[in-house]
Amino acid sequence: MHFPGFRDESVYRGRQVFLYKRAQIFVADVWGTWKAAGLGAFQDIAQLTMFADYRVPVTLREVGILAYSEELLVKIENKVEIPSHSEEEIEIRACTVHAVELIKKRFVERYGQEICSIVVDWLLWEKGEAKRETSIEPHHRTLTIFY
């Protein structure tokens, strides 16, 4: 089978970057649907990162965890398209992944319990979706098949 939407790969400053948002969502949906049992009993589910797209960065910005350069912020506020595979797009997505990993680390430090990146992603995404109509922070615009 051929799933072009799963090949979420870019080159950033000469290095290949793999984000695989849709492929990870597929695995996470199976895991969640089967409640981590049966077909969803993945022993390595903690290896998944959050699903790097456009909604979670907005939520992270609203709570003060993620900040953009003034130049990038102006583009986003003016709804200027951020090209797919551009340095800016990759940086937004990669910094979002990193921020979620730091949130996980802080959670473990505070509560002494592990949490999956996908669970953090789901919580942040739901928070963002709940504020979709009232949020004053715009999301970045990128024309892509990957999210």
Catalytic residues: 53
Burial 111-122 (b: 16+ CB within 10 A, else e): eeeeebbbbbbb
Comparing CA positions, the residue from 79, 76, 25, 29 lying closest to residue 52 is 25
Burial class for 107, CB neighbours closer than 10 Å (0-12, 13-18, 19+): middle
